[in-house]
Chains A and B, each alone.
Chain A
């Protein structure tokens, strides 16, 4: 299935892209993270990150569906 991944902050720096469409066999965001880790070499532990699917906070084991948009959120630092 095809998943759109948007990158912010440190992940955008590491991947050097704002977003990409990934043809993946991963069934959930954690699997997708590890797949993209192999491709981009994030060098970061997902334990520090949150995940959003289709602009809503979600869970790392939430099932992915064709056309979903996924964002891995680094620890926030606003304010």
Chain B
């Protein structure tokens, strides 16, 4: 079982200082550090996006975040893993999510980092609302469900950002 102090998961209402976040995973035994940053982009499926808002279910996020990171430490044998997700309003180019992993050698931390962001996207209880240039806004994946329901069509796919 991995030590619990090897993982850190946080939600943040303020802009992420990604250099400072490296301290969460620094370790003298580690020669490899891999990180991923998810940035707010200005388009979604051909539509111009002006800004985003993220909303989280904090109590379940804390549990689910730690579960994902602990699983990564065990699965890939990395030393430390951390992830931070923003909540609240974000502008284009803002950092929405940061993942950092350290290990003795490079391969484990690179693989673990990719696995962690993939898991975050499918299971962390966080929701993104996109505000479009045409003045409309949508909860990503949710509003598509509502339309599918209205049309009696449950067979649509849930696209991933």
Contact = CB atoms under 8 A, between A and B. Distances in A.
A45 B142 contact: no
A57 B60 CA distance: 8
B145 A48 contact: yes
Interface of B: 38, 54-57, 59-60, 63, 85, 96-97, 117, 120-129, 139-143, 145-146, 148-150, 154, 158, 161
Interface residues of A, number: 23
A8 B127 contact: yes
A72 B101 CA distance: 32
B140 A77 contact: yes
Contact of A79 (B38, B57, B148): B38
Contact of B149 (A43, A56, A57, A79): A43
Given A9-B127, A43-B146, A47-B154, A77 B59 contact: no
A78 B129 contact: no
A74 B60 CA distance: 13
A45 B139 contact: no
A52 B38 CA distance: 27
A78 B60 contact: no
A10 B125 contact: no
Given A74-B127, A79-B96, A10 B57 contact: no
A56 B127 CA distance: 18
Interface string A11-36: 01100000000000000000000000
Contacts of B122: 76
Which label, helix, strand, loop or mixed, suits the secondary structure of the B interface? mixed
Which 3 residue pairs spanning A and B have beta carbons closest together? Answer: A78-B126, A9-B127, A79-B121
A44 B113 CA distance: 34
Nearest to A13: B139
Contacts of A71: 57, 60
A55 interface: yes
B67 to A, nearest CB: 10
